Amino acid sequence: MNQIKIRPELMVIDVLQESFDIHEIGNRRFMYCPQTGRLILGFESCGKDMSLSHAKEHMLSNVEEPFDAFVRGWIGTNKREYKDGVIHFAPSVLSTSPLFDLAFCAIEVFRLNGARGKTVIRGLGNCWEQNFEEVFTNGQM
């Protein structure tokens, strides 16, 4: 697998062929399509300013998959406020949602690329915020 460096511009990553370090991500939107293994990382944002929408970044990425094939959110360390990272699904994905399996696939991709026990996961399952390790040990999923 080819390890790539995270850059501040919009990136499209084929997670079936490329790996990355989640801890290099400061604050950016993500979109993940489990059917193709394509991960779109939006432009790196300063502070809380995410001026482009998921839809706009999807369009700018020039990917072939339709927008609705992607589970979406934002990810990062937010200038090291979250030293182990945060994965925030937006919109939230309840365990009864048809998107739940897609979101869980995204969690697996992030696990393979550096998410660890204290990585915060928001908006997934029946609990608003939990640590990565709790997602699997408490049966929240």
Q: Looking at residue 60, what is its pLDDT?
A: 96
How much is the CA Rg of the chain, to the nearest whole Å?
14
How many C-alpha atoms does 140 have within 13 Å on its Cβ side? 21
pLDDT, one tens digit per residue, over 82-119 is 888 999 999 999 989 988 999 989 999 999 999 988 99
Q: Looking at residue 141, what is its pLDDT?
A: 44
Using a 10 angstrom Cβ sphere, with 0-12 exposed, 13-18 middle and 19 or more buried, the burial of residue 83 is exposed
Q: Residue 114 in contact with residue 132, Cβ under 8 Å? A: no
Q: Looking at residue 125, what is its pLDDT?
A: 86
Q: Predicted confidence band at 81 (pLDDT cuts at 50, 70, 90)? A: confident
If one compares 81 and 29, the residue with the highest pLDDT of the two is 29
Q: What is the DSSP letter of 64?
A: S
pLDDT, one tens digit per residue, over 26-54 is 899 999 999 999 999 999 886 555 678 99
Q: Looking at residue 46, what is its pLDDT?
A: 62
pLDDT, one tens digit per residue, over 7-20 is 999 999 999 999 99
Position 56 pLDDT exceeds 60: yes
Q: Looking at residue 14, what is its pLDDT?
A: 98
